[in-house]
Structure 1
Amino acid sequence: MLILPATTVDFFLAGLEAFMRRSGQGTHWGVTVLQLEAKPDAQTLTKAWEEIHAQHPMLGARLKRQWRGWRWVWETHGTIAAPPICWHGVQGLPPGEEVIQERLQGRSSSGALTTPLWLEVFPWGTEGGHVILLTWRHALLDGTGINLLLEKLAAGACAAGPPAQTMPPRESMARIYKRAKPLTDRLHEMTSAGCLSAWMKGMPTGGRPEYRLIELSREESARATARLRALCGDFLQMPFYAAMAARALQLLHERRDWHSPEIHLHLPIQLRGRSRELIFGNHMGAMPLFLEAGALGTLDLAVAHVLEKYREGMKQERSQASEALTTLAAHLPLSTFIPMVRWTNMGQICSLFHSHTGSFLPGRTEFAGAAVQNIYTIPSVSAPPGLGIFVSDYAGLITVTLAWRGDGVSQAEIEALDRRIRTDLTGIAQE
């Protein structure tokens, strides 16, 4: 039996999934889509797929609490066999919304998915193109892990297994509490102010996962990249996309005549060392930002405000405080974690989920012998917060995924969000 340490984000996502199950929202899945210009080589893809499973026992791991020491760990009794890759015939349809929504609910045409990774290949288009769907369990993977996994699969092999991981050193509860307290106090201030998401108390939590893809053209993507560099420089991308996401949520509030003085945004922060072998388990922590709704009038102003709040958060060591707060929360039973968060936040978790985890397959133009046209990810979200805005980038081509659940966001609102996001990214007003 192999015991591997769990991160605080592992605990958070496990708690979120426990809440989703109890509220009728199912398990927490994501889908990554690879659009290829030809059929991938079956032998190359199968070899890499089987080696990934053979070399990574985390794929058969289960998150559990150690009663001695009260730690959360991943426990595995060895590797699991790779499920067969599903090759859909020419007579099958390319994966439309219904297929992807089914995968986001953890189902295939033959029943419930029983492994944390599921790989399918579909014919696509009229000129020999193919689409790969990679369905993955969010409790075991995040956006950074998916990127690392694709790099391994694209390389055609996974000869080296993951390095041994050691348990982090223990700290006293008093020291952890001291580090978390400034953030706890700030969260209480936010709660008192009445911070809203895309979901308000009394709205339904059920409904199937829904999504909308905002696929920028090559020219639009180039314009967006130029705007990003002008506002943030060459190396810091997250404030640009965080500002875009915050302004989209603000538009939703305006259309509903909701008044939220602040937007509580979790800025993804790399907490765990980016080893090429540590694919599974979650890499990203959170830097909580508390954005003033009145400071988001234009994208330029919003980016400047996010940068100001980011520097403030770094100075106050807010990502470390967030880590400490989740470490304290990990002493709660898993089933009570998210309900406790909602209770302290007046029904909310945060204002919205959003991420941009860098460019997929940097420097690679092929996957399993086929030229890549685009790659993007479609995560599912819970209600609350009720809205997710996720940015994918392959070789400079930008795709934004809007994700929501059931009737929590109307089609008219989605159209308005689409226009706002396209306008902010490209600088061209949309009709």
Structure 2
Amino acid sequence: MPALPRKVILSGSDCFHLVLDKHAHKYGTGSNVMRIVFQSQEKIAAQQLSAQLNASPLVQWLCNIRLHSGGLFGRPYWEYTGGNQPIPFYEHQYGQAGELPATLLQRDLPLRQQHFIECDLVHYPDDTTAIVISWNHILLDGRGIGMLIQHLNELHEGQPARSADVLFPPPEKKANWPAYIRNMYRVKSFIEKSSRAPIASVASGYGKEPSQFHTQLVQFSVEETARIQQQATAAGARFGPNLFYLSCCAQAVRARLDEKNIPGPFWIPIPYDGRLRGSFGPVITNTVAFLFYRLERDQLHQLPTTVAALQQQMTDQMRDKMPQRYSMLLSMMRHIPLNLYYFLVNRRGKGAFASFLYSSTGDSFNKTDRFMGIPVEHVTIYPSPTFPPGLTFSFLKHREALNINIAYSPDIVPQADLQLLIARLRQMLLGSGSE
């Protein structure tokens, strides 16, 4: 078993998720909880799965930590208590195969609790099963959960546990405050220019807190996914299909806002993983920065135009090292008390973080066919709902088939509007509604 660190300082991205967690509770969306779901055709024994999970030193660490605020100007950190609390484990009997109980999806993992990760096993009448792992996003990001799954699979196969050097973040370098401050003004200027008003949002004109949040899964076959890849190439997507997916989402949302007579360009922050490509680790902590995209109305008429605009902005920001600069800014912001941090973030966007939210796991789970020896038929990510804006698209490919999980508030996007939006999105992705 690797030596488990007694203290892990939260990264800048982790602390930003503290802000999102506070924001989620303010608007009643539940905390910033993510879920990954493995659907299996097998009947799974709960006791055996629970024992396998708790055999992991990393799971042991995750289940025996507490959060410290770090004081007035100190950095927040996780403290490992050295306890022996197992991962919370729940079983459900549910009548609709492939779906999840609403009580599971609505369960919170607030920071005042004693645990920040848990597992559910959902049994269906046809003897199929869903394994659901839920975690507070402050713990780890989308690629982190993928590496946690890889770690669990390796342990099940009898491989030795990886060292703490790759499971946990490395020691931080000493802060260069003059560089931090120069960088702060540069990033602040860029973001203010990128997000300058007016900005159209799905939450535009919605002045009260939404009363509920739902998810809607949109699935494509292997053949349809291959066709979508062809459409991405035809639209000029030179760096993989991700910006094509985003372009289709933007045009589908723009069509809905046009029907509502909501003018203005879009502003969309997109997560960017700061780890070295192809590397394993760190698992614990968020290493995500953002790329910031602004789409004017005349860039939303045709998909090739939208894709080209996004690609140019991405190239410009990568050339200017904007993700690294934004990460540096987030690291600096850790020294600000949470309430002041939240005020500064909320004030800039007047409560809105984006026109809509978007993320993609790429091929991270495409080849995942087993979880701790259990055959897996489908993998799905459930994103945390965020209001404003109240609409999040999460793309995932598994076994060469694309799926999109949409988190939304029916108060903001009524069911009839959502179905129209999904129909437009499918048409654009498949190439029958790109104009």
The answer, yes or no, to whether TM exceeds 0.5 is yes
The Cα offsets for residues 185-205 of structure 1, whole Å up to 9 and x where unpaired, read as 233334543113221365223
Contact 2:229-2:241 at 8 Å conserved across structures: no
Shift, 1:394, TM fit: 0.7
Question: Quick check: 1:396 aligned with 2:400?
Answer: yes
Instruction: Report what 1:267 is aligned to.
Output: 270
Instruction: Report what 2:143 is aligned to.
Output: 144
Shift, 1:106, TM fit: 1.8
Q: CA RMSD in A?
A: 3.0
The Cα offsets for residues 179-236 of structure 1, whole Å up to 9 and x where unpaired, read as 2323312333345431132213652234232111111122212212333345566863
Letter in 1 for 2:117: L
Instruction: Report what 1:303 is aligned to.
Output: 307
- Seen in structure 2, the aligned counterparts of structure 1 residues 102 and 132 have a Cα distance that, compared at 3 Å, is closer
Of 156, 160, 163, which residue of structure 1 is paired with 2:162? 160
Q: Which moved more, 1:209-218 or 1:264-273?
A: 264-273
Letter in 1 for 2:272: I
Equivalence map 1:219-298=2 (5 Å): 219-231=223-235, 236-261=240-265, 263-273=266-276, 276=280, 278-298=282-302
- Seen in structure 2, the aligned counterparts of structure 1 residues 315 and 27 have a Cα distance that, compared at 3 Å, is same
Equivalence map 1:31-70=2 (5 Å): 31-40=35-44, 45-52=49-56, 56-67=60-71, 70=74
Runs (5+) with no aligned partner, structure 1: none
Instruction: Report what 1:132 is aligned to.
Output: 131
The Cα offsets for residues 42-101 of structure 1, whole Å up to 9 and x where unpaired, read as 576334311235665244333434349722322222254223543445xx4347767246
Instruction: Report what 2:95 is aligned to.
Output: 93
Instruction: Report what 1:120 is aligned to.
Output: 120
Q: Helix, strand or coil: the match of 1:82?
A: coil
Q: Helix, strand or coil: the match of 2:377?
A: strand
Partners of 1:55 and 1:118 in 2: how far apart? 10
Runs (5+) with no aligned partner, structure 2: none
Contact 1:31-1:135 at 8 Å conserved across structures: yes
Shift, 1:403, TM fit: 0.9
Equivalence map 1:322-361=2 (5 Å): 322-361=326-365
Of 17, 20, 23, which residue of structure 2 is paired with 1:19? 23
The Cα offsets for residues 311-355 of structure 1, whole Å up to 9 and x where unpaired, read as 111122221232233233333221332332221223322222211
Instruction: Report what 1:2 is aligned to.
Output: 6
Contact 2:293-2:313 at 8 Å conserved across structures: yes
- Seen in structure 2, the aligned counterparts of structure 1 residues 409 and 269 have a Cα distance that, compared at 3 Å, is same
Contact 1:209-1:405 at 8 Å conserved across structures: yes
- Seen in structure 2, the aligned counterparts of structure 1 residues 23 and 290 have a Cα distance that, compared at 3 Å, is same
Partners of 2:270 and 2:389 in 1: how far apart? 15
Letter in 2 for 1:124: Y
Q: TM-score, normalised by structure 1?
A: 0.87
Contact 1:381-1:404 at 8 Å conserved across structures: yes
Q: Helix, strand or coil: the match of 1:286?
A: strand
- Seen in structure 2, the aligned counterparts of structure 1 residues 230 and 40 have a Cα distance that, compared at 3 Å, is farther
Letter in 2 for 1:416: L
- Give the count of matched residue pairs: 422
Q: Which moved more, 1:346-355 or 1:157-166?
A: 157-166
Q: Which moved more, 1:194-203 or 1:270-279?
A: 270-279
- Seen in structure 2, the aligned counterparts of structure 1 residues 44 and 105 have a Cα distance that, compared at 3 Å, is closer
Q: TM-score, normalised by structure 2?
A: 0.86
Partners of 1:147 and 1:317 in 2: how far apart? 26
Contact 1:10-1:139 at 8 Å conserved across structures: yes
Contact 1:266-1:287 at 8 Å conserved across structures: yes
